[in-house]
């Protein structure tokens, strides 16, 4: 079955307005919302769920099913992106629980922030897989906060709303994640140089 829509007018609407159309049963509005979010959500799930393509696709479908069924619970005064990522985050959390993988890495209470003498080398060595290798050692809250901030460009307040955490906690998690990545990348770089 193929669906085709004239989505010219819908493209000008905000996400929140589209949700009003969708709750009134507007299929074309839903199509527009799907166009806007499917890549972002797929990326999020892919990176949060161990780079598993199939799982990311399944979760993407489940998330949009939830949007269809539970849209009446969305408050249009809030930002839609925050709501969607809250659902996505909760789905990931449930998946971790289900698999009993709570990758709570032994987080050091605080990182002594060494001066990174070789910072320029770190920037040039910054490869996406290296970043995610470092991120995989962290728990889902750190990963989510990091992705939402640097991939999605959400504000600290919005991330706090998604994760249901105070702003200060989000900041400290982001700080910790950044420092950990910096440290790990420098270590990797040194290992490579020794080789």
Partner 1 sequence: MDKFEKSISSTLQNDKLDFAANPAIRERLLYRMQLKTSQTVVHKNQFVPMFNRQFFATNVIWKIGVAAIILLSSIGYEHFIKTDGVIKVVDSTQSIGLTDSSTIQFNDTLNFN
Q: Using CB under 8 A, which of 70, 78, 102, 151 touches partner 1?
A: 151
> What is the C-alpha to C-alpha distance for residues 138 and 84, in angstroms, rounded to an integer?
23
Verify binding: residue 91, partner 1, rule CB under 8 A.
Answer: no
- Closest distance of CB 100 from partner 1, Å: 27
Residue with Cβ nearer partner 1 (130 or 139): 130
> What is the C-alpha to C-alpha distance for residues 140 and 147, in angstroms, rounded to an integer?
10
Residue with Cβ nearer partner 1 (144 or 182): 182
The one segment of 29-37, 87-95, 101-109, 154-162 that binds partner 1 by CB under 8 A: 29-37
| Cα–Cα nearest to 47, from 117, 110, 129, 125 | 129
| Cα–Cα nearest to 182, from 107, 126, 110 | 126
The one segment of 10-18, 100-108, 122-130, 162-170 that binds partner 1 by CB under 8 A: 122-130
- The structure tokens 């925050």 sit at 82
3-state secondary structure (DSSP) of residue 27: helix
141 close to 76: Cβ distance less than 8 angstroms: no
The one segment of 81-89, 91-99, 101-109, 120-128 that binds partner 1 by CB under 8 A: 120-128
Sequence length of the chain is 195
> What is the C-alpha to C-alpha distance for residues 48 and 143, in angstroms, rounded to an integer?
7
Which residues lie near partner 1 (CB under 8 A)? 1-3, 22, 25, 27, 30-31, 34, 38-39, 42-43, 46, 53, 57, 60-61, 64-65, 68-69, 119, 122-123, 126-128, 131, 147, 150-151, 153, 178, 181-182
């Amino acid at each position: 079955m193929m669906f085709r829509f004239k989505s010219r007018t819908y493209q000008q609407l905000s996400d929140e307005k589209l949700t009003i159309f969708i709750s009134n049963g507007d299929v074309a509005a839903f199509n527009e919302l799907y166009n806007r979010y499917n890549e972002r959500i797929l990326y999020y799930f892919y990176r949060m769920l161990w780079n598993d393509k199939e799982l990311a696709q399944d979760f993407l479908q489940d998330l949009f099913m939830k949007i269809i069924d539970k849209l009446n619970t969305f408050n249009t005064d809030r930002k839609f992106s925050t709501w969607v990522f809250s659902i996505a985050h909760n789905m990931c959390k449930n998946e971790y629980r289900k698999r009993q993988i709570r990758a709570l890495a032994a987080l050091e209470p605080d990182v002594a922030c060494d001066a990174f003498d070789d910072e320029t080398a770190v920037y040039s060595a910054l490869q996406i897989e290296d970043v995610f290798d470092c991120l995989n050692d962290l728990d889902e809250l750190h990963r989510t906060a990091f992705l939402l901030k640097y991939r999605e460009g959400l504000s600290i307040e919005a991330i706090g709303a998604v994760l249901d955490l105070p702003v200060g906690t989000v900041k400290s998690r982001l700080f910790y994640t950044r420092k950990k990545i910096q440290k790990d990348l420098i270590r990797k770089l040194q290992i490579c140089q020794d080789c």
